[in-house]
Structure 1
């Protein structure tokens, strides 16, 4: 039972870290850069983590 709770907490922490990393990565781009790329911002947010820095 304790192991299951630990696994749930670990998954939640991983999701939180990925969410924060994606948000920080997305905020690095300005509105003009989004327009220049001809892509809506949500695509850049979705690809922000997968894009090597």
Structure 2
């Protein structure tokens, strides 16, 4: 997968669904949150914190 912004539109759509309260499969959450480098939990999304800091 390339780093073009359009390649992650699927993940952004899933984020909107997740934030809108739709129930997603755990695999959808895991793949989309990883693609956007975020953590999705409890109906919220936050940037993933690097352990290097």
Decide which structure has the larger Cα Rg and report it: 1
Richer in helix (by share): 1
Structure 1 length as normaliser, TM-score?
0.29
Structure 2 length as normaliser, TM-score?
0.29
Richer in strand (by share): 2
**Relative contact order (C-alpha < 8 Å, sep 6+): which is higher?**
1
